[in-house]
Amino acid sequence: MAQRIVIDPVTRIEGHAKITIQLDEDGNVADAWFHVTQLRGFEKLCEGRPFSEMPSLMARICGICPVSHLLASGKACDQLLAVRIPEPAIKLRRLLNLAQIVQSHALSFFHLSAPDLLLGMDSDPRKRNIFGLIETNPQIAKDGIRLRKIGQTIIELLAGKRIHPAWVVPGGVSEPLTVEKRDQILSMLPEAKEIALRTLQWFKRSLEDFRDEIRTFANFPSLFLGLVTPEGKWECYHGRVRVVDENGHIVADQLDPTEYQEYIGEATEPWTYLKFPYYKPMGYPDGMYRVGPLARLNIIDGFDTPLAEQEWVEFRELERGAILSSFYYHYARLIEILHAVEKMEELLNDPDILSKHVRAIAGLNNLEGIGVAEAPRGILIHHYKVNEDGLMEWANLIIATGHNNLAMSKGILQVAKHFINGKQLNEGMLNRVEAVIRAFDPCLSCSTHAVGRMPLHIQLIGPDGTLLDELRRD
Amino acid sequence: MPKVLVVCYGNPLRGDDGVGWIVAEKLQQMSLPDFVAIQTHIQLTPELAADLSEADLVIFIDACDAEPVGVVSCKPIVPLPLSSSSFSHHLTPDLLLSHAQHLFGRAPKAFLISVNGSEFGYQDTVSPAVREAAGKVVEQVLRLLEEFASQSA
C-alpha cells in the first residue's frame, strides 16, 4: 500500500514549510515535495505607494535579510531615476551587503546547522540545538553570536539605527561614512577574520565525518547561476550573470541581469505558493539551477582577496567539475564570510570610502526599474513598474529560495531515498531530510512573524488519506 | 550606570504585529533617562543575547494572537532551563535570556508586555483597539522604569 510521510513544519529554517514524501507499495520512497504553505503578499502591498518608499519598505520583508531587499530595491529605484550613482555610494552599498553576508551566514552556519554538524545527525533531538551546542562547544556558539553581532553592528553603523532606516535611497545613500565609524568598523574586522579562519579549519577537519551526507545531500548535476565581475571574479553587488553546468563549463556568461526575463522562466505548481524559476533555454524542469554560496563558488574564476582565494582553490579541488553536493553550502558560506571580511577591510582602507559625494539627485525618468544583487542565499531580483506620478503599479520579486526551489525538492527526494525505507520513522533520518533543506538556508519568512513555537510534525498517511502514523517534536 | 533595554519586536507589515514599533516611536518621542535604550526588531535574533547580558532590566514588547483584542498584559520572565527547550528560527524572550545566561554568564531582570491583537494580515496599520493599547503599553513601561529607578537609587 502506497504511503505518504509528511514533515510539517520543517524546523530551523526561516518561515514555514512542509515536506511530503510519497512511498510506493513496497514502502520505498517514490517522490518528494517541498511545499511552502504561506502566501507572500508583498507585491500587492506595494501597489499605489510612491517608489521612493520602496527601499525602506522592502527592508521590512524579512528580519534575517533586510539589507538584501534594501539593496535590490535601491538599485531598481536607481533605474527609475535613470541615474548613475556615485562610485563612493556603490562602495558603501557594497560594504553594507558584505556585512549582511557575514551576519546572515553566521546565523545559518552557527545557529541553524552547527548543532547537526557538531552534535551529530543521530544525537538526541532534545540536545541537538543551540543549547546543546552551548553545553558541548561554547566557543563555537560564542563565535556565532560574535560574528552575527559584528555584522549587525556594521550594518547599524552604516545604515543607522532609526526606527525607519532609509540610508539606501534611490540615487545612492543618504549620508557619507565618517572617519569615526570607519575606524570603528575596521577595529572589529580582525576578530571576525580570526573566527572565520578558525571555523574553516575546524569544518575542513570534520568533513570526513559526513561522507554519507556529502554523498546524498542534494548531490546531483544541475546548473549554477549567479553574478560575476567582468573578469569572472566573485561579485555581490553589480556584475553580470554567469551560468555553469555540472562539469563546471560556462553555459552562458556576462548576461545582463536586467534582462532576466529573457533567460529565467517561472513555473508554478498547484501544491505550493513558491514558484519554480528555471533556465529558459533548457526548459522546465530541465533548466533547474542552484544559487547561493555553493553556486557562487562554482561559477567564479576566483576571489580577489588572498585568503578567500586560497580557500577557494582548495575547495575546488574537492571535485573535477562543479562541486555538486549541497552539503558543501556550509563550506562555501564560511569561505564567503572570510572574503566578506577581507573585502570590507579593502573597501574601508580606500580613501574614497569617506567621500561626501554619495547621492545623485533626479526625478522620475523611467517607468520601469530592475534591481539585482547577490543576497546571502543567492541572486535577488526586484522588478518595478510605476506610473507617471511615481506610484507603484506592479512589482515582481524573485528571491533566492525561489531560485533553489527545484533543486531543494530534488535534494529532498535524494536524501529521503537514501535514509528512509518506509518501515519506520526515526529522528536521525528525518532530521537528515530537514538538514538537506537547511543546507540551502531557505528564507521563507519574508513578511512572516511566527507566533508561538514551531513544532516538528510528521504524519504517515495511506493512499486513502488515513493517518497511519504520527510523530511530533515540540 | 544601570542600563535598561526596551526591545520592541514584530513585523510592522503584518497589521497588529507591528504594535511594538508604534510603542517604540512613542517612547523615542519622550525624554527618557539616558540609561534607557530602545531597540526595534522584526524578530528576535541570537546576537541580542549579548546586549541582554549587559543590561540590568529588559522590557520586551510584542503582540500576541489572543482575545480580547487590545488587552495589555505584563509578566516577569526568567531564563528557560537548558534542557527544556528546542531551538527553531523562532526565538522567544525567555530563550534569549537563556542564551545570555549561558553564553555570557548573566541574564537581566526581564518583563514581557504583550498586546492582544487579531489582525495579522498584510497591512501596515494596526487595528484601532491595538493602537489605543499602545498608549497603555507606554504607561506600563514608564511604571517599570519608575520602579527600577527607585530600586536602583
Going from N- to C-terminal start, the domains of chain A cover 3-38+421-473, 84-212+348-361, 220-324
Residues of B with CB under 8 A from a CB of A: 10-14, 17, 21, 24-25, 28, 39-43, 45-47, 49-50, 64-65, 82-83, 85-90, 92, 98-99, 102-103, 120-124
pLDDT in tens, B64-88: 988 899 999 999 999 987 654 443 4
Cell numbers at A334, concatenated: 564560511
Please name the member of B28, B87, B123 whose beta carbon is closest to the beta carbon of A129.
B87
Beta carbons of A448 and B11 less than 8 Å apart: yes
Q: Return the axis-axis angle of helices A329-348 and A87-106, rounded to nearest 10°.
A: 140
Q: Which residues on chain B are in Cβ contact (under 8 Å) with A445?
A: 43, 89
CB A164 within 8 A of CB B122: no
Please name the member of B43, B85, B102 whose beta carbon is closest to the beta carbon of A63.
B43
Omega cis (within 30) before B68:
yes
Beta carbons of B46 and A145 less than 8 Å apart: yes
Please name the member of A60, A131, A145 whose beta carbon is closest to the beta carbon of B13.
A60
Q: What is the mean pLDDT of chain B?
A: 89
Give the residue from chain B lying closest to A110, CA to CA: B46
Please return the burial class of A336, using the count of CB atoms within 10 Å of its CB with bins 0-12, 13-18 and 19+. buried
Rg (CA), chain A: 22
Beta carbons of A11 and B88 less than 8 Å apart: yes
**Residue B127's CATH number:** 3.40.50.1450
State the DSSP H helix or E strand holding residue B9, giving kind and residue range, or none if neither: strand B4-9
Cell numbers at A440, concatenated: 540551502
* Domain that includes residue B32, residue range: 4-152
Instruction: With a cut of 50, list the residues of chain A below it in pLDDT.
Output: 1, 9, 11-15, 37-39, 162, 445-456, 474
Pairing mode of beta strands B57-65, B109-117? parallel
Min Cα distance A13 → chain B (Å) is 6
Please name the member of A130, A135, A146 whose beta carbon is closest to the beta carbon of B87.
A130
Q: ipTM exceeding 0.85?
A: no
d(CA A313, CA A310): 5
Select from A399, A415, A425 the least CA-distant residue to A277.
Answer: A399
Please name the member of A11, A148, A449 whose beta carbon is closest to the beta carbon of B14.
A449
Select from A206, A257, A260 the least CA-distant residue to A228.
Answer: A257
CATH T-level assignment (fold) for domain A84-212+348-361? Cytochrome-c3 Hydrogenase; chain B (1.10.645)
Pairing mode of beta strands A456-461, A392-398? unpaired
Residues 6+ apart with CB under 8 A from A183: none
Distance from the Cα of residue B15 to its chain's centroid: 17
Beta carbons of B46 and A130 less than 8 Å apart: yes
Min Cα distance A264 → chain B (Å) is 28
Beta carbons of B45 and A62 less than 8 Å apart: no
Please check the confidence at residue B49 and state whether its pLDDT lies above 60: yes
Residue with cell 520602496: A54
The percent of residues in chain B predicted with pLDDT above 90, rounded, is 63
d(CA A13, CA A329): 15
Cell numbers at A284, concatenated: 522546465
DSSP-derived secondary structure letter, B153: -
Q: Provide the residue type at A151 as one letter.
A: G
Beta carbons of B87 and A131 less than 8 Å apart: yes
Q: Which residues on chain A are in Cβ contact (under 8 Å) with B25?
A: 163
Q: Which residues on chain B are in Cβ contact (under 8 Å) with A473?
A: 86
3-class SS of residue B150: helix
Give the residue from chain A lying closest to B28, CA to CA: A163
d(CA B64, CA B67): 9
Sheet holding B72-77, edge to edge: B36-41, B4-9, B57-65, B109-117, B72-77
The predicted structure's pLDDT at residue A125: 66
In angstroms, what CA-CA distances link A322 with A249, A374, A402?
A: 8, 20, 21
Q: Provide the residue type at A325 as one letter.
A: S
Please name the member of B28, B45, B83 whose beta carbon is closest to the beta carbon of A163.
B28
Please return the burial class of A355, using the count of CB atoms within 10 Å of its CB with bins 0-12, 13-18 and 19+. middle
Min Cα distance B35 → chain A (Å) is 17
In this prediction, residue B90 has a pLDDT band, given cuts at 50, 70 and 90, of low
Residue with cell 537528515: A432
Beta carbons of B11 and A447 less than 8 Å apart: yes
State how many domains chain B has.
Answer: 1
Beta carbons of A41 and B122 less than 8 Å apart: yes
The predicted structure's pLDDT at residue A424: 63
Please name the member of A129, A130, A453 whose beta carbon is closest to the beta carbon of B90.
A453
Residues 6+ apart with CB under 8 A from A41: A447, B121, B122
Q: Phi and psi at residue A85, in whole multiples of 5°? A: -75, 155
Q: Helices (H), strands (E): how many in chain B?
A: 4, 5
Please check the confidence at residue B143 and state whether its pLDDT lies above 60: yes
In this prediction, residue B43 has a pLDDT band, given cuts at 50, 70 and 90, of confident
The predicted structure's pLDDT at residue B102: 85
Q: Which residues on chain B are in Cβ contact (under 8 Å) with A152?
A: 45, 47
Half-sphere exposure of A23 (CA within 13 A, CB side): 24
pLDDT in tens, A104-162: 999 889 888 888 888 777 777 667 777 777 778 888 888 998 999 999 899 989 988 64
Please check the confidence at residue B108 and state whether its pLDDT lies above 90: yes
pLDDT in tens, A222-280: 999 999 999 999 999 999 999 999 999 999 999 999 999 999 999 988 777 778 899 99
